[in-house]
Amino acid sequence: MRDLLSGNYAIAEAVRMAKAQLIPAYPITPQTPIYERLSEMESQGTLPGVMVRVESEHSAMAMCIAASLAGVRVFTATSSQGLALMHEMLHFASGNRVPVVMGCVNRVLAVPWSFGSDQTDTLSQRDTGWMQFYCEDNQEAFDTVIQAYRISEATMLPSMVIIDAFFNSHFIEPMDVPDQRLIDLFLPQATLPERFDLNDPAFISNVVTSGAQFLPFRERAFTDMEKAKEIIREVDIEYRAQFGRGYGMVETVQTKDAQLVLVTSGSMTSTARMAIEALRDKGLKVGLLKIKAFRPFPSREVEDALQNIPKVAVIDRNISIGKEGIFCQELKSALYNSTARPRIYGYIAGLDGLDVSPEIIENICLEVLGKEMPDNLPIWVKGN
Amino acid sequence: MYKENTVEDLMRSGHFACPGCGVAIAMRLVLRALGRKTIAVIIPSCASIIAATHPHSALEIPAFHGTFETAAPTAAGISYALKIRGKSDITVVAIAGDGGTFDIGLQSLSGTADRNEHYIYVCLDNEAYMNTGIQASSATPRRAWTITTPAGRSARKKNIMEIMAAHRIPYAATASIGYPQDLMDKVQKAKGIEGTKFLHILTPCATGWRMAENLTVNAAILSVETRIFPLYEVFDGKKYGITYEPQGLPVEEYLKIQGRYRHLDAGQIERMQTETDEEWESLYRHVTDCQRKGAL
Amino acid sequence: MTTQENLRAADYETIIPVSRANTKVFKTGQWSQKKPTHHPKLSPCREACPVGNNIPGALAHVSKGDYNAALALILQENPLPGICGRVCYHPCQTSCNRNQFDETVEIRSLERAIADYGCATPQICSSPTDNKTTIAVIGSGPAGLSAAYFLALFGHRVTIFESRAEPGGVLRYGIPEYRLPGEVLNREIGRILALGIDLEKGVRIDSERLDDLQDRFEYIFLGTGAWLPQKTGLSSENRETIQYGLDFLSHEKKEIFCQGKKNIVVIGGGDVAVDVARTARRLCGPGTVITMIAPEKEGDFPAIPEGLAEAEDERIRIIGEYQPIEFIGNSHLEKVRFVRTKVEKDRVTGRYTLLPGDGNDLLVDADLVLIAIGQLPDTGLFLPEIVDKDFSKVFVNDLGMTPSSRFYAGGDLTRKRPAVADAILSGKRAALSIHLKANGYDPEIIIPALTLGQGSSLSISAYIEAGLIDLKKVVQFAELNTLLYRKTGAEHGTKSPPETRRTDFSEVNGGLERKAAIDEAKRCFYCGSCIGCDLCFLLCPDISIAKEGDRIYRVDKDYCKGCSICATVCPRHVIEMEESQ
């Protein structure tokens, strides 16, 4: 069915159709409409799950973890400060290997206080053991929520489905909402382990007393995250077969002959597609690499895409102060031991939702094409 | 004294509590009263170590080790999940220390109480961060020594019961290891009530109170008999009832067996008495108000 | 199979810590060598009770309203609880630990309640394999009844010979009805005789009969009491208007002595003197002045204080620190002269000596003098080797045996303390000695082992259930955890009003109602006795005390960390910590 939905509403719709059973939620701009939409559904009797209006994001995640351990499919959503408050529980969720799916709407972290998009909030959670999927548009957000449940429940690792503040969260786009029956076929009711069995009682996640006990659990989570890459691919292929849409961990556009590949994530990718078209029209061999999965990081896909590419420009809507854009860093580290060794140019653009227009992206490409060596530090793009 | 055939111990021997541990006694009594159809949430506290480290468990029931400040929402989350899965006959109990309750977990406890989520919260109050080695919490009484209040704490003990009563939860009660039947009766009462139930149990700590290990139960009894820790219940946040009429022994009887009060002079002890009397009168006013209104 | 299914099938048990192993693999009991033992001990009341009544045990039954069980327990030690519950001088109450807390438990009233409300058959504790013997008991006072009772319970053939028309001795002929109603006496004697004891009434034993009894019976128990009056020895003593304690009390027509008398003087400060005075009050009516005068200080009279108080209520004047020196009057007695006296007790022998005191003589109007300053046994009948040179008593050793090995004796005949409870003890001791000897045991070893505490009382139940209680250790007040007790006043029974008592021989003390007795029994600390409160069990942090039945606990040394909470909390000091190997 074709529908017009904002990114937030698309996520809410996906959560409804995924039949999440428990949804503890707490408001924060710009994620709030997810919470509001789900509440509306609940009051209309169309939400199969139960909502709990908790008093903080931290408690929301605590409740998600607990309910998931008790065998229930859960969902919550947050942004920015809320995600930062949750930080402890993010580690706790992945440590407990619970397949929580969380919607994240990127927003700057104070200070200064503001509301625009900035991926630093989710990227700061890089090492929490969560899978992270950065979505380009509202359709992808919807599809990724559905896929994320399959992936998380298969890997027993939690997932963040991430969109940009306002560009995604509040902009209404036409999209396809599949039939519930097809969703049910793709994503059946959760069959999660029930950790609290009265007939075989166990103390779950109690203290380990040595590194020798600790290490195998971390190592196992690591290898399961590695295996998740294959699962993400399989689930995506299945989804494409069922619904005619798929995304991959990365997507390449005209990279085969490119002299320069632009690397983007999130909503900026749509703009980049236009800029690439324009540059190609001008005869410049420019391609695009969209990174969707940030954790697990698709090193092999990135390597494959950038073989024989002389230059790469990474536009980060985030900043790791003291280093550079975070996608840029990740890309560099992924390629260091690779035979693909392009020169990588880092740009910081669009913080706090600052507009990154096609012209800005074109100018970045032109600049990189004309520049022999990358700068040591990222280049801050301050607008037109 | 206990009801045969209906109760059994769900805590195992061989746990690592210090000798004479009040927390271990309270855990045992609470679980005994709750029975096998129980899931426990335990957070960092002495209780989490007593319940044993991996791969051992000192409990005969399923349990989960949650984070410090989330005993309440974790228990509530399990409770929701059980309801969703149609398992309505299982009790969920959160077991937290005073730090996890009075301090770091108060917000999330308040949240679940506000929403009146269906579980029992048990605060095992040993009046300081004992698991980390005797640092003061907001449950540490005024003038009590801890390693972080070497001259005695200056703030008075937070009145957690009034906080919980202010949430108008259906049931809140104090209980003491010195009165095991009363304690178990209250646990069973809580078990039969829908919504959030709060039990505040004083669990004297020989190590942290600088006291001989055989005196923890006597200290609990004295805390009640001196009215420092009266035994009472509050229904719906309004209906107060004393469940055990204390003798009103001088507070000194309680203070003198504890090394953490050794530094007190006569004047300070007298002020402790005055403060205790005031608190008791305030509690008693609640009770008599209820009686006057015919609430009980 | 897809990768997804592979992972889904992964062992969920290994991805997070899932802990099921039982902590019982950790023998935390090794942290300490101190371990508790449940070690029942003697209560001070039981140590003080000559009869050795298991007072805490019986009161525990009463506290639950089970008078039958209480009586069954009491009957293991005391054949005459209804009598002791009325007339005993209750040393138990004097030593009750509750005195140091609020006030004593009314043990005597509770014994009476047990006897009056309970229903039980004395337990037959003999073993079929025991040798049975035959015993003649001479005298059916408390000593003789006690000896007969225990001997019968041990399975021996007993015949009681009583010179008077009815059995009971001093209980029937010495203690007035207002203290001990005849129906109570009959009930208790009936229960004893129902054990299969033969009673020959109206049989006075002379030397010929004694020889005959020696032929017919293996052992003879002498319990003939002390019926001869102690006299003042004053030259003016012999006259009709002077009567003696037991003679007066046992006289069938004692009212004739009292008729028309205006001033009666009772000399003596013991229970017999009090009974004499109170009996005289009832026979004379309220107008007669009755004065009781004794050498002891007021307040130190040997009589039971309650009896003295009741006498005062009945308008009997009590004067201390005087002894008679002259009975004045010619044909009719007119006055008695008393001199100031003081009493000194010899610390070694315990004997009292009367010495002159400071102060003027006292002249008291008297038209009847009743002297109750002591009784002497009639020993003329017995073998010279068992009687002392003054013919004042029969010798017995600590086993109740006279120097002649087939003769045992007890009660006032042996001139121990002249109290019912002590007489019962003497009969019990002799019975146990005879039983042990008849079965080839050495009483000299066993009897001291069954002696309670530092006292002289014996516990038959200890003989039967040896090892259940430490008979030598008495619980001191300081050893109790009194935190769990509340201060409460004792329950006292009702008394009939003094004005009706002056003419009435019906019982003065109403005793405790059933409910009041239960409440009073609950006041008992149960020193040294486990009542199954379960505190040790419930409060063990290490779940190392298992409950294996009512009042049966087992300490699991593998897990007991020796914290001693159980021993400290026990309100009754049953539990003790010991070093274990």
Domains and CATH numbers, chain A: 2-243 (3.40.50.970), 250-380 (3.40.50.920)
Query: For residue B115, which residues of chain A lie inside 8 Å, CB to CB?
Result: 52-54
The whole-number pLDDT of residue C238 equals 72
pLDDT in tens, C175-218: 999 999 999 999 999 999 999 999 999 999 988 899 999 999 99
Q: At residue B1, does pLDDT exceed 70?
A: no
Is residue C144 domain-resident?
Answer: yes
Q: Are residue C36 and residue C46 in the same domain, yes or no?
A: no
Supply the mean pLDDT for chain C: 91
Residues C50 and C138 in one domain: no
Query: Per the domain annotation, does C16 fall within a domain?
Result: no
With respect to residue C448, please indicate whether it lies within any of the assigned structural domains: no
Tell me the pLDDT band of C456, cut-offs 50, 70 and 90: confident
Nearest CA in chain C to B23: C541
Q: What is the pLDDT of residues A184-235, one digit of tens each?
A: 999 999 889 999 999 999 999 999 999 999 999 999 999 999 999 999 999 9
Question: CA nearest B10 in C: which residue?
Answer: C543
Residues 178-217 of A with CB under 8 A from B: 195-198, 201-209, 213
Same domain for C384 and C363: no
pLDDT at position A171 is 97
Q: Is the pLDDT assigned to residue B4 strictly greater than 50? A: no
The answer on C348 and C240 residing in a single domain is: yes
Mutate to test the interface with A, among B15, B39, B65, B88 (most CBs of A within 10 A): B39
Q: Do residues C250 and C370 both lie within one domain?
A: yes
Q: C470 in a domain, yes or no?
A: no
Which chain A residue is nearest to residue B82, measuring alpha carbons? A70
Chain A interface mutation, best of B67, B112, B114, B117, highest count of A Cβ atoms under 10 Å: B67
The string of DSSP letters for C529-544 reads: ------HHHHT-TT--
DSSP state of B137: -
- pLDDT class of C380 with cuts at 50, 70, 90: confident
Instruction: Note the pTM of the prediction, 2 decimals.
Output: 0.91
Q: Compute the count of residue pairs across chains A and B with CB atoms less than 8 Å apart.
A: 144
Structural contact between residues A173 and A146, judged by C-beta atoms closer than 8 angstroms: no
CB–CB contact B64 A72 (8 Å):
no
Whether B62 and A201 lie within 8 Å, measured CB to CB: yes
Indicate yes or no: CB of A196 within 8 angstroms of CB of B62: yes
Q: Which of C345, C374, C403 is the last residue of a domain?
A: C374
pLDDT, tens digit, for every residue of B226-249? 999 999 999 999 999 999 999 999
Set of chain A residues whose Cβ sits within 8 Å of the Cβ of C10: 156, 224
Task: Calculate mean pLDDT across residues A55-72.
Answer: 98
CB-based contact C22:B57 (threshold 8 Å): yes
Q: Which two tokens stand for residue C140?
A: 């059916």
CATH number of C320's domain? 3.50.50.60
| C35 and C63 housed in the same domain | no
Q: Write the residue in A53, A62, A202 that is nearest to B74 by C-beta.
A: A62
**Spatial distance between the Cα atoms of C44 and C107, rounded to a whole number of angstroms:** 12
- Is C559–B57 a contact, with Cβ atoms under 8 angstroms apart? no
How far apart are the C-alpha atoms of C210 and C213, rounded to whole Å?
A: 5
Distances (CA, A) of C316 to A212, B224, C269, C292, C313: 93, 51, 13, 7, 7
Which chain A residues touch C15 with a CB distance below 8 Å? 97, 156, 217, 220-221, 224
Gap between the Cα atoms of C202 and C525, Å rounded:
47
If asked whether residues C363 and C397 sit together in one domain, one would say no
| Residue at which a domain ends, from C438, C454, C487 | C438
Whether pLDDT at A48 is above 70: yes
Residues on chain C bordering chain B, Cβ-to-Cβ distance under 8 angstroms:
17-28, 31-32, 481, 483-484, 486-487, 532-535, 538-544, 556, 558-559, 561-565, 567-569
Give the per-residue SS3 of chain A. CEEEECHHHHHHHHHHHCCCCEEEECCCCCCHHHHHHHHHHHHHCCCCCEEEECCCHHHHHHHHHHHHHCCCCEEEEECHHHHHHHHHHHHHHHHCCCCCEEEEEECCCCCCCCCCCCCHHHHCCHHHCCEEEECCCHHHHHHHHHHHHHHHHHHCCCEEEEEECCCCCCCCEEEECCCHHHHHHHCCCCCCCCCCCCCCCCEECCCCCCHHHHHHHHHHHHHHHHHHHHHHHHHHHHHHHHHCCCCCCEEEECCCCCCEEEEECCCHHHHHHHHHHHHHHCCCCEEEEEECEEECCCHHHHHHHHCCCCEEEEEECCCCCCCCCHHHHHHHHHHCCCCCCCEEEEEECCHHHCCCCHHHHHHHHHHHHCCCCCCCCCEECCCC
> Both C325 and C341 in a single domain?
yes
Region B39-66: mean pLDDT is 97
Q: What are phi and psi of A337, to 5 degrees?
A: -95, 15
Tell me the CA distances in angstroms from C491 to C58, C66, C519, C572, one per residue in order.
Answer: 17, 18, 8, 22
For residue C464, is pLDDT > 80? Answer: no
Pairing of strands C375-376, C228-229: antiparallel
What are the φ/ψ torsions at residue A58 (nearest 5 degrees)?
Answer: -60, -45
Q: Cβ A70–B82 below 8 Å, yes or no?
A: yes
Q: Which domain holds residue C537?
A: 23-40+530-579
Q: How confident is the model at residue C8 (pLDDT cuts 50, 70, 90)?
A: low
Q: What is the pLDDT of residue C6?
A: 52
Cα–Cα distance, C295 to C353 (Å, whole number):
10
Cis peptide before B55 (omega within 30 of 0): yes
- Please give the pLDDT value at position C417: 79
Please tell me whether residues C284 and C350 are part of one structural domain: yes
Are C267 and C167 found together in one domain?
no
| Whether residue C237 sits in one domain with residue C340 | yes
> Is the residue at C18 inside a domain?
no
pLDDT at C9 over 50: no
If we measure between CA atoms, which residue out of C329, C352, C354, C327 comes closest to residue C340?
C354
Q: Kindly determine whether residue C559 and residue B14, on different chains, have CB atoms separated by under 8 Å.
A: yes
CA distances from A96 to A75, A91, B65, C14 (A): 16, 8, 10, 11
The mean pLDDT of C58-72, rounded to a whole number, is 97
Per the structure, how many domains does chain C have?
A: 4
Determine, yes or no, domain membership for C449.
Answer: no
In this prediction, residue C43 carries a pLDDT of 95
Chain C nearest C-alpha distance from B166 (Å): 32
Residue B6 has pLDDT above 70, yes or no: no
Residue C458 lies in a domain: no
Q: What percent of chain A has pLDDT over 70?
A: 99
Give the mutation candidate from C15, C23, C484, C557 for the B interface (greatest B CB count, under 10 A): C23
Is residue B5 predicted with pLDDT exceeding 50? no
pLDDT digits (tens, 9 = 90+) for C485-524: 999 999 998 899 888 888 889 999 999 999 999 999 999 9
pLDDT of residue B296: 47
Could C19 and B19 be called an inter-chain contact, meaning their C-beta atoms sit closer than 8 Å?
no
Q: Residue C511 belongs to a domain with what CATH number?
A: 1.10.1060.10
DSSP helix, strand, coil percent of chain C (3-state; round to 5) = 35, 20, 45
Can you list the domains of chain B with their CATH numbers? 22-293 (3.40.50.970)
- Alpha carbon distance A138, A144 (integer Å): 10
Q: Which of C339, C374, C409 is the last residue of a domain?
A: C374
Average pLDDT, chain A: 97
Q: What is the CATH number of the domain that holds C36?
A: 3.30.70.20
> Which pLDDT value is given to residue C351?
74
* A contact residues 11-30, partner B, Cβ 8 Å cutoff: 21-22, 24
Interface predicted TM-score of the whole assembly (ipTM), two decimals = 0.96
In chain B, residues with a C-beta closer than 8 Å to the C-beta of C535 are 1, 180
Q: CB distance A202–C14 less than 8 Å?
A: no
Whether residue C568 has pLDDT greater than 50: yes
A201 with C2: Cβ contact below 8 A:
no
Distance CA C254, CA C248 (A): 6
Token look-up 């096609």 returns A358
Question: Who wins on pLDDT, C348 or B124?
Answer: B124
pLDDT at residue A384 in the model: 58
Q: What is the enclosing helix (H) or strand (E) of B121?
A: strand B119-125
C448 pLDDT more than 90:
no
Retrieve residue B139's tokens. 């449950």
Q: Which of B43, B69, B80, B109 to mutate to test the interface with A (most CBs of A within 10 A)?
A: B80
Percent of chain B at pLDDT > 90 equals 95
Q: Are residues C48 and C101 in the same domain?
A: yes
Give chain B positions within 8 Å (CB) of C25: 14, 56
What is the pLDDT averaged over residues C458-469? Answer: 75
Query: Which subunits have 3 or more CB–CB pairs within 8 Å of chain B?
Result: A, C
Whether C450 is covered by a domain: the verdict is no
CA–CA min distance B82, chain A (Å)? 7
- Under 8 Å CB pairs connecting chains A and C tally to 57
The string of pLDDT tens digits covering residues A292-329 is 999 999 999 999 999 999 999 999 999 999 999 999 99
Q: What is the pLDDT of residue A5?
A: 98
User: By the CB < 8 Å criterion, does B77 face chain A?
Assistant: yes
- The stretch C23-52 carries a mean pLDDT of 95
Per-residue model confidence (pLDDT) at position C10 = 58
Chain C nearest C-alpha distance from A44 (Å): 35
Q: By the 8 A CB rule, do A218 and C15 touch? A: no
Strand partners, C545: C555
